Amino acid sequence: MKKKNILIGIGGGSGSGKTSLAKNILKAFGTGEVVIIQLDSYYKDLSHLPFEERTQQNFDHPDSIDFSLLKKHLSQLLTGEPVDIPLYDYETHTRLKEPLKIDPHHAIVLEGILVFLDPELQDMMNIKIFVETDDDIRFIRRLTRDLTDRGRTHTDVIRQYLDSVRPMHEQFVEKSKKYADIIIPEGGDNTVAIDLIQTKIRSLLQTEGSEFP
């Protein structure tokens, strides 16, 4: 695969600040130069299952992610082809009928809790970043997000955290930081790390020969 663009992977636990970090990296570049893709968009479609059975799935296990489709789409974006990425409905645990068209960008940021678990996906990345944040902070952020944005109840969030989020974090996410090139605390609040990452991205893009500000 001859790459025209670069891929930055941002991993870390749920609520660690991955999305904030990705958005703050993006601020330094022009509109249309950098795109953020969330690993959650590639949750497998569970529309074939009854709703109650869908809610019992372990969404923090690697088997919940369609890595094959993700790698196909990233390969296309990296070589300059547009893709239609899935849009996932967290309330129904299904994919929406209309996908989201993404055009090629000089830099692609992939963020999610399990981004470093697939060896082929690791090899596609130019930079691998792991965001490390204390467990209590991550839980509070997750609780707030799921209540506000995903239609969950307090009981649902706590049950899911104890049954799958915490054990999967210990089994998969925490161990995946050994694959990272850099580990940073507190995600989007770490301005020094953000400045360094932005500088590295510019350097990589110049090396790849892209015209980039």
Average pLDDT over residues 197-206: 86
168, 105 in Cβ contact below 8 A? no
Judge whether residue 9 has pLDDT over 50: yes
How far is CA 154 from its chain centroid? 24
Q: Which of 111, 113, 110, 112 is nearest to 172 (CA)?
A: 113
| 44-101 pLDDT per residue, tens | 989 899 988 888 888 899 999 999 999 999 999 999 999 999 999 888 889 998 999 9
Phi-psi region of 121 (alpha: psi -120 to 50; beta: other; left: phi over 0): alpha
Q: Which of 127, 124, 139, 129 is nearest to 169 (CA)?
A: 139
Who contacts 211 (Cβ-Cβ below 8 Å, separation ≥6)? Answer: none
Judge whether residue 209 has pLDDT over 60: no
139, 161 in Cβ contact below 8 A? yes
| 136-167 pLDDT per residue, tens | 888 888 888 888 877 788 888 888 888 888 99
pLDDT at 1: 65
Which domains are assigned to the chain?
A: 6-206 (3.40.50.300)
% the chain with pLDDT above 70 = 95
pLDDT-derived band at 35, boundaries 50, 70, 90: very high
Question: Which residues partner with 109 through β-bridges?
Answer: 8, 36
